[in-house]
Structure 1
Amino acid sequence: MARITFSTKGFKQSIHDELAFQRQKKRSPPSPEARPTFLEWLRISWPDILTMIAIGAIGLGFDKMWPPYHRLFPYLDTDGTIISPELAYRKRPPTLSAALSGILSIGIPILVFLFSQFLTPSFWVLNNSLFGILYANLLGTCLQIMIKTLVGGFRPHFLSVCQPDLSRPGASQGLNGIYHDWSICTGEAKDVKNALISFPSGHTEAAFASGVFLSLWLNAQLKVWSAYQPRFWKVVVVFVPLLGAVLMAGDLQMTGNHHWYDMLMGAVVGTMVAFAGYRAMFESVWDARTNDVVVLRRSQMIVAGERTKDRGRSTDSGDLV
């Protein structure tokens, strides 16, 4: 007859393992697939939405302003020759209007983000991707408009739209009277104002804000620069948004709407806000292990089921800060 024994050691170990699992589960970050209700999402996101509206309003306010300075420009030398031919180009519209450039810069990344949801659906990845691209574009647009208004510069077609009248007050300043104030312009006011705010290039800033952000996002999703060799098509895909940004910027130089240094500064501003927007939404930029991991707020973690103190993947201690 076989002897039947009951051991409490195995039972206690099972209880211990289960409790350890539950504690670890409680500490773990919430699943990115946890979808909140609309009201929960709004409670999480309303401070950011209001901030974005405020940043947009600030940019719009600066856009309506005339430059507060009266920058001087050279026109004719004492012998009647044009001193600055680089400001005498014919006015030509860019191939892409400002509105179309903005739509493409925002629309193409959004379409890519939405398409990715058919392959690997994740609410918070989509949410953070959309907020990240909006952060980059709104902040970049506000910055470049402020710089345009407060610093500015003459476009290559400035003299063509200015149509200077040397008999007006403000003419003939500086040595030999070769410098003039833009108040001597007789052209259309809106064209003159636009010709005074060349630096930096807004088209270029928007193109690089979206192009660099999308390139970083594609790199993270496709794991191009990681611990293993990627397929060449993935490398090509990551560079496509950058090529698009460069082509959009190059068109402005070809049509005489900007100087090279306008586009350079626009690209710098766009790249900076793209990195800032991406890192604000994802755990890293270059680390292939975490650059596709969304960063959550405390309020997002609560909605997703987290009830413990912050342990490393939430970004703040409340809804407002």
Structure 2
Amino acid sequence: MSEKPRRGLFAQSTARHTGPGAGATPTTAAVNGNPSIEIKGFMTGFSLLRWLRLHGIDLLTMVAMGAIGLGVYEADPAPSRNFPVFNIDGSIAYPEFAYPLRKNIIPIWLAALLAFICPFVFFVLFQIRLRSIELLLGTTMGLLESLITAAVFQVFHKWLIGGLRPHFLGESDVCKPDVSTLTPNGVGFRQIMYNRSICTGDENDINDSLESWMSGHSTAAFAGFVYLFFYFNAQLKVMADHRPALPRHIQSTASHAHSLASLPWLERYWKMILTIAPILGASLIAASLTVDEFHNWYDCLGGAVTGTFCAIIAYRKNFAALWDFRFNHILLPRSTSIFHRHAKDGELATSRFGYVPQEALVQRPVASEGGWRRDWGVAGAPNDASALMV
């Protein structure tokens, strides 16, 4: 089997591939029978107007969600929390809330920017091989859906639930409690509980320090970087049916199998490192908040769970699988929407994905080993431990 000829980023290939069965996505050249799949250039067949009509509702919804999130973020904290300052014996009740105010190691705007820019840079770089603006836009939309949804989720928690930041009670920084008012104004058992009325600090600083739960840094970092983790795993096929990145002549020639032991670099451990690197980045951003005393550990954990949850849903909403290595790189099709009600010539009348073998050839991943960028497909039920190359 000969290799495909190399081509430029915007060039159109003349290579055509066929696969058994039906059910190809709208990117195929045929719909029924044995579809003929044509690999095209970056902009070939793309219509911005059609794309906007297909995804207009999603774009408008994201704008609306962003506006809601911004409005809630600017609102004052809803609950009025009671908290102790001193124990009955005169000691500090909660030393964990008495740290001095420090600057963020990573500001919130930078955390949010990194959560978008870092994945987007890799989406663009991978287009050197993928050559599909529709795939680039679809992948980026999924990332934005993850980030925006997670942000709105966490700002509602900040507004309605909140909590004390570790530097809340700082006498020279945030609350600056007026000790002379403590005894007559207390509530609860032995009047040791107080509210923000004892604070003499800046109103905005007090509001911010009452919104510790949950961490916006942590939420944004995990929403963006967990999405990137799934993208790397799908495109590089780290968890697949082969050991990553063996040269083609070794993959296809059994007589060379003995050489693997003497060539450890061929295993390309770097693909695994690259795949888990986003998780390292997200965890470092979240953990830094316990170093600069802006969040409690449970604030960071709550944000991490929320961000991860949103990333999982956003990725699976846009791609055919999370863990099934045969289909997790394939962007799900969309042929109709409220602004594009009827599929036109060359488009499928349905936006459902078929999960049939040749679908793995319609959109190819970045990885080339294991036959992924050749005229091969995969067969077998979704989530099978093994798959047949056809």
TM norm structure 2: 0.71
Number of the residue aligned with 1:15: none
Deviations 1:268-299 (A, max 9, x none): 00000000110011000000000001112222
- Alpha-carbon distance change, 31 to 171 in structure 1, aligned in 2, over 3 angstroms: farther
Counterpart in the other structure of 1:102 = 112
The ranges of structure 1 where at least 4 consecutive aligned residues each deviate by more than 6 angstroms after the TM superposition are 20-24, 29-32
Residue pair 2:104, 2:289 contacting (<8 A) in 1 also: yes
Quickly say closer, same or farther: Cα 1:53–1:177, change in 2 above 3 A: same
Equivalent AA in structure 1 for residue 325 of structure 2:
A
Instruction: Report the Cα offset of residue 98 of structure 1.
Output: 1.0
Name the counterpart of 1:306.
Answer: 347
Q: In the alignment, does 2:117 pair up with 1:89? A: no
Residue equivalent to 1:191:
205
Q: Give identity over the alignment, percent.
A: 37
Once residues 86 and 22 of structure 1 are traced to their aligned partners in structure 2, the CA distance between those partners, rounded to angstroms, is 62
| Aligned-residue offset at 1:78 | 3.1
Distance 1:209 1:150 in 2: 21
CA distance in 2, matches of 1:229, 1:23: 29
Give the distance between the partners of 2:147 and 2:184, measured in 1 at CA. Answer: 38
Q: Distance in 2 between matches of 1:268 and 1:170?
A: 42
**Maintained 8 Å contact 1:75/1:84:** yes
1:251 matched to 2:261: no
2:31 to 8, 26, 29: 26
Task: Tell me if 1:292 matches 2:329.
Answer: yes
1-structure distance, mates of 2:272, 2:38: 29
Change (3 A) 1:239 1:22: closer
Q: Which consecutive residues of structure 2, in runs of 5 or more, have no partner in the other structure?
A: 1-19, 25-29, 245-267, 356-390
Q: Relative to structure 1, is the Cα distance of residues 129 and 176 closer, same or farther in structure 2, using a 3 angstrom cutoff? A: same
Structure 2 Cα separation of the partners of residues 239 and 121 of structure 1: 25
Name the SS of the counterpart of 1:290 in structure 2: coil
The answer to whether the 8 Å contact 1:32/1:294 transfers is no
CA offsets, 1:61-110, max 9 Å, x none? 11121122111111012333211100000111211111111111111111
Scaled by the length of structure 1, the TM-score of the pair is 0.85
The equivalences for 1:125-140 within 5 A come to 125-140=135-150
Which of 304, 307, 312 in structure 2 is aligned with 1:267?
Answer: 304
36-45 or 103-112: bigger deviation? 36-45
In 2: Cα distance, 1:56 partner to 1:39 partner: 23
Secondary structure at the counterpart of residue 285 of structure 1:
coil
The amino acid of 2:330's aligned partner reads: V
After superposition, what is the alpha-carbon deviation per residue over 1:151-203, rounded to whole angstroms, capped at 9, x for unaligned? 11100001011111252899311111111011221111111111001011110
Q: Is the 8 A contact 1:206 1:270 kept in 2?
A: yes
* Cα root mean square deviation, aligned: 2.6
Q: Is the 8 A contact 2:23 2:354 kept in 1?
A: no
State the alpha-carbon separation in 1 of the partners of residues 237 and 200 from structure 2: 56
Counterpart for residue 157 of structure 1:
167
Q: Which secondary structure state, in structure 1, belongs to the residue aligned with residue 156 of structure 2?
A: helix
Moved more, 40-49 or 203-212: 40-49
Query: Matches of residues 211-230 of structure 1 in structure 2 within 5 Å?
Result: 211-230=225-244
Of 58-67 and 162-171, more deviation after overlay is shown by 162-171
Deviates more, 1:167-176 or 1:134-143: 167-176
1:115 aligns with 2:125: yes
Instruction: Check the 8 A contact 1:32/1:125 in 2, yes or no.
Output: no
